[in-house]
């Protein structure tokens, strides 16, 4: 038995039989023959009345960890979720498999609320979704007290962490669930949390006695790639055209303006794309989100305001045009790719200006010194991931506490190993230039000006200030401008150089003295001659989905997808609510000849068999 505070990866003991009722629900309702990972262990623990903190990567099956106990235990499971805009889709997905589900939130009119409240009180619901702010309303609490609650599920539990990447103040009040309903089991779930964040979640939610279940954070189907930023929109366009034609994906940008311009650029170049950011009106945001969920092949260009809880399984790529602020945020965002387990890409374009901008944002951010140090520590870890010459996946997993991970063979540093070089002399030249501008001329400039000095360029600014008389003028001709920008970027990442002021000027740090004094060597990652494509210059998305199907199965799969799209449109639900691609692939590869054979396909439960079985068999008989 794992102790309450044990945070190791856990799994069911060998030979331990699953709870009969739970396995029956898994097969009959959801159409799966067996639990994955430690799902079984979590389900049995919660069914028996225990509290749990579950950390499982996106696509790992977290929702089943509370949905199955909800169907096995007496009463209604109350699911706390911050995703008001997605509650309808979550309820639709459960309804499609025959589960009685409803929600209460601010989007409903009084008549709709009354119907859901009546169903709850009559015991006619299996799951009830609520937003965290809804639990601060006295009438909602009164309603819950009048019904029978099977369990509380707190989804996206990292939102309680004030040091996390998606803090929601309303989550701080959820500790009252334990006070009001001390005998009702609680399960908190998240896809992203370091050991420190897990401790904070347990403390703030009063789950200190809960059993912890921590899965591996590895997503082997995702290929992680970080490329030097040159012309990021053009680089993105090449990625989409060469590797992901016709695929659904998400592109993250730092600013609203960048979101708009990038979406316009993609549309102008024949890529169907939609913008999403907080500056758009609520109707436009909701419409764009619904289109992304329901239509095939759309690209959503968004700020990080978009994505949490998006249950679209066939997102084939997640691209970042700006540097994420933390590894947690990066992992959470890239994890939205490939929820169906099929090959997907996490692609990031990263450059010097990203580092300058993020350092500047931290320096000018609100909050005390401890807060700024915490932001800086998060950024340092993200920069280390970008600059590593090791396997990116191994370094990413080590950040979340998984050590001793072998090289994956499916990230850019494994597929196209970068070279490193002794950059000590180059670092000394650059730091000396910054030193001389500051100490000899009492002036500070940005990276571009220092590089121009090293390259011996006679720009207007250099000539105006007489900087061609500096002793470092022209001593850096052995490196190209892009290589010098790489030197600056990596020195900033290593803390050997700092960014200060409103204009992002360069300044020395305490650590700079060790390099200038020849007490420290500097190893740098070599800048590639041209944008690295790795060994993945073949389509990984839509083409990959059908690539390993036989010539006979591929057209069947496409007919099934067309049927699914039409059915989803008719019902007004996302296509994945009907069936996932993985289920359609299995049907196409080994076409069932009867409803009994179809019932044995993974993902086909009783309700979907009754609802769609005859239609699927009809599609299979088409020539």
Please check whether residue 490 is in contact with residue 380, taking contact to mean a CB–CB distance below 8 angstroms.
no
Average pLDDT over residues 485-501: 85
pLDDT tens for 168-214 read: 788 888 989 989 999 999 999 988 777 888 888 999 999 989 999 99
The pTM assigned to this predicted structure is 0.79
Whether the CB-CB separation of 276 and 289 falls below 8 Å is answered with yes
The C-alpha torsion from 575 through 580 and 581 to 583, rounded to 10°, is -140
* CA contacts within 13 A on the Cβ side of 466: 4
> Between these two residues, 526 and 546, which has the higher pLDDT value?
526
Confidence of residue 88 (pLDDT cuts 50, 70, 90): confident
Q: Please compute the mean of the pLDDT values over residues 490-499 and round it to a whole number.
A: 85
Query: What was the pLDDT predicted at 390?
Result: 86
pLDDT at residue 623, rounded to an integer: 61
* Model confidence at 8: pLDDT above 50: no
Q: Which helix (H) or strand (E) covers residue 93, if one does?
A: helix 87-96
Q: How confident is the model at residue 124 (pLDDT cuts 50, 70, 90)?
A: very high
| Residue 468 and residue 441 in contact, taking contact as beta carbons nearer than 8 Å | no
Instruction: Convert the pLDDT of each residue in 26-72 to its tens digit.
Output: 999 999 989 988 899 999 999 999 999 999 887 778 899 999 999 99
Give the pLDDT of residue 530.
58
Q: Is 590 exposed, middle or buried (0-12, 13-18, 19+ CB in 10 A)?
A: exposed
**Pairwise CA distance, residues 228 & 352, whole Å:** 9
DSSP assignment of 151-198 equals EEEE-SGGGG-TTSSS--GGGGGGGHHHHH-TTS-EEEEES---HHHH
How far is it, in rounded angstroms, from Cα 570 to Cα 583?
A: 20
Q: Give 235's contacts (C-beta < 8 A, 6+ positions apart).
A: 227, 229, 349, 531
Distance of alpha carbon 101 from alpha carbon 110, whole angstroms: 18
- Scan for tokens 């939609």, then name that residue: 274
Tens-digit pLDDT profile for residues 499-527: 876 677 888 989 999 999 999 999 888 87
Of 77, 80, 65, 49, nearest in space to 150 by CA: 77
Angle 183-114-180 from CA coordinates, rounded to 5°: 20
DSSP character for 411?
Answer: B
pLDDT of amino acid 163? 56
What lies within 8 Å, CB to CB, of 584 at 6+ separation is: 557, 560, 561, 564
Plot region of 360 (φ>0 → left; ψ -120 to 50 → alpha; else → beta)? alpha
pLDDT band with cut points at 50, 70 and 90 for residue 10: very low
Comparison of pLDDT for 365 and 276, the residue scoring more: 276
Which stretch, 108-117, 158-167, 574-583, has highest mean pLDDT? Answer: 108-117
Task: Give me the torsion for CA of 482, 485, 487, 489, rounded to 10°.
Answer: -130
Alpha helices for 388-509 (secondary structure H): 392-399, 412-415, 424-435, 447-455, 460-465, 481-494
Average pLDDT for 281-298: 90
Give the Cα separation of 517 and 515 in Å (integer): 5
Q: How many Cβ atoms are within 10 Å of 597's Cβ, its own excluded? A: 13
pLDDT classification of 17: cutoffs 50, 70, 90:
very low
Which candidate, 85, 92, 72, places its Cα nearest to that of 26? 72
What sign has the CA pseudo-torsion 561, 563, 569, 571?
A: negative
Confidence at residue 171, expressed as pLDDT on a 0 to 100 scale: 84
Interacting residues of 359 by C-beta distance below 8 A, sequence separation 6+: 379, 492, 498, 499, 504
Spell out the alpha helix ranges (H) of 245-281: 256-268
Of 180, 181, 198, the closest CA to residue 189 belongs to 198
Determine the Cα–Cα distance for residues 486 and 427; give it in Å rounded to an integer: 11
Q: Residue 239 above 70 pLDDT?
A: yes
Q: Which residue has the higher pLDDT, 388 or 8?
A: 388
User: Which residues, in sequence order, are bridge partners of residue 154?
Assistant: 80, 188
Q: Which range has highest mean pLDDT (395-404, 466-475, 571-580)?
A: 466-475
pLDDT of residue 369: 81
In whole angstroms, what is the distance from residue 522 CA to residue 528 CA?
A: 18
Give Cβ neighbours of residue 608 (< 8 Å, ≥ 6 apart): 31, 96, 97, 578, 579
pLDDT of residue 87: 87
* Residue 406: count of CB within 10 angstroms of its CB: 8
pLDDT of residue 482: 87
Question: Given this model, what pLDDT does residue 546 score?
Answer: 56
Residues 39 and 32: their CA atoms lie apart, in Å, by 12
C-alpha 482/C-alpha 294 separation (Å) is 42
**What percentage of the chain has pLDDT greater than the value 90?**
55
> Phi, psi at residue 347, to the nearest 5°?
-125, 130
The rounded mean pLDDT for the chain is 87
> Which range has highest mean pLDDT (132-136, 269-273, 487-491)?
269-273
Give the chain's domains with CATH numbers: 20-214 (3.40.50.300), 222-415 (3.40.50.300), 420-525 (1.10.10.10), 548-620 (1.10.150.80)
pLDDT tens column, 132-165: 888 888 999 999 999 999 999 999 888 887 655 5
CB atoms within 10 A of CB 234: 12
**Cβ atoms 99, 29 nearer than 8 A:** yes
Average pLDDT over residues 260-272: 97
CA-closest candidate to residue 279, choices 311, 302, 256, 301: 256
In the prediction, which pLDDT does 533 show? Answer: 42
| 402-445 pLDDT tens trace | 888 899 999 999 998 888 899 999 999 999 999 999 877 778 88
């Amino acid at each position: 038995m794992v102790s309450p505070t044990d945070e190791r990866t856990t799994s069911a003991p060998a030979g331990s039989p699953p709870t009969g009722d739970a396995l029956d629900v898994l097969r009959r309702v959801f159409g799966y023959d067996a639990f994955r990972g430690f799902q079984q262990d979590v389900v049995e623990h919660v069914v028996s009345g225990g509290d749990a903190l579950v950390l499982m990567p996106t696509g790992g099956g977290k929702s089943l960890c509370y949905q199955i106990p909800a169907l096995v235990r007496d009463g209604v499971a109350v699911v706390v979720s911050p995703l008001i805009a997605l509650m309808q889709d979550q309820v639709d997905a459960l309804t499609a498999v025959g589960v009685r589900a409803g929600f209460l939130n601010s989007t409903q009119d009084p008549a709709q609320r009354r119907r859901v409240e009546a169903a709850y009180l009559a015991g006619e619901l299996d799951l009830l979704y609520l937003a965290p702010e809804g639990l601060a309303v006295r009438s909602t609490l009164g309603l819950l007290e009048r019904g029978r609650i099977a369990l509380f599920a707190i989804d996206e539990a990292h939102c309680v962490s004030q040091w996390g990447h998606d803090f929601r103040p309303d989550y701080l009040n959820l500790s009252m669930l334990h006070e009001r309903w001390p005998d009702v089991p609680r399960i908190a779930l998240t896809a992203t949390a370091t050991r420190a964040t897990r401790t904070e979640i347990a403390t703030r939610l009063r789950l200190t006695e809960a059993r912890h279940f921590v899965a591996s954070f590895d997503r082997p189907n995702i290929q992680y790639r970080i490329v030097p930023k040159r012309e990021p929109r053009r680089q993105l366009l090449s990625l989409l055209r060469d590797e992901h034609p016709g695929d659904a994906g998400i592109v993250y940008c730092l600013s609203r303006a960048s979101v708009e311009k990038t979406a316009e650029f993609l549309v102008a170049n024949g890529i169907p794309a939609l913008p999403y950011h907080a500056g758009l009106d609520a109707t436009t945001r909701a419409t764009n989100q619904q289109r992304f969920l329901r239509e095939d092949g759309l690209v959503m260009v968004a700020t990080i305001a978009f994505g949490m809880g998006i249950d679209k399984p066939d997102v084939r790529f997640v691209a970042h045009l700006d540097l994420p602020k933390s590894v947690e945020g990066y992992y959470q965002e890239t994890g939205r790719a490939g929820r169906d387990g099929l090959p997907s890409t996490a692609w990031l374009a990263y450059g010097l200006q990203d580092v300058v901008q993020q350092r500047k944002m931290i320096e000018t951010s609100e909050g005390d010194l401890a807060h700024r140090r915490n932001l800086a520590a998060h950024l340092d870890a993200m920069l280390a991931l970008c600059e590593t010459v090791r396997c990116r996946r191994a370094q990413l997993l080590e950040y979340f506490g998984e050590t001793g991970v072998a090289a994956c063979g499916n990230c850019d540093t494994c597929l196209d190993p970068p070279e490193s070089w002794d950059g000590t002399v180059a670092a000394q030249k650059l730091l000396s230039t910054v030193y001389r501008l500051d100490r000899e001329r009492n002036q500070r400039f940005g990276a571009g000006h220092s590089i121009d000095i090293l390259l011996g360029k006679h720009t207007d600014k250099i000539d105006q200030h007489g900087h061609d008389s500096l002793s470092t003028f022209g001593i850096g001709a052995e490196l190209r401008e892009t290589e010098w920008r790489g030197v600056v970027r990596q020195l900033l990442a290593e803390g050997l150089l700092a960014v200060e002021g409103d204009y992002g000027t360069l300044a020395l740090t305490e650590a700079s003295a060790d390099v200038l004094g020849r007490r420290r060597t500097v190893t740098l990652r070599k800048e590639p001659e041209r944008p690295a494509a790795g060994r993945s210059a073949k389509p990984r998305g839509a083409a990959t989905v059908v690539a390993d199907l036989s010539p006979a199965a591929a057209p069947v799969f496409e007919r099934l997808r067309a049927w699914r799209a039409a059915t989803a449109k008719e019902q007004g639900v996302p296509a994945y609510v009907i069936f996932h691609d993985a289920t359609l692939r299995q049907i196409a590869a080994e076409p069932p000849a009867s409803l009994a054979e179809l019932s044995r396909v993974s993902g086909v439960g009783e309700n979907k068999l009754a609802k769609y079985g005859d239609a699927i068999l009809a599609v299979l008989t088409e020539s």
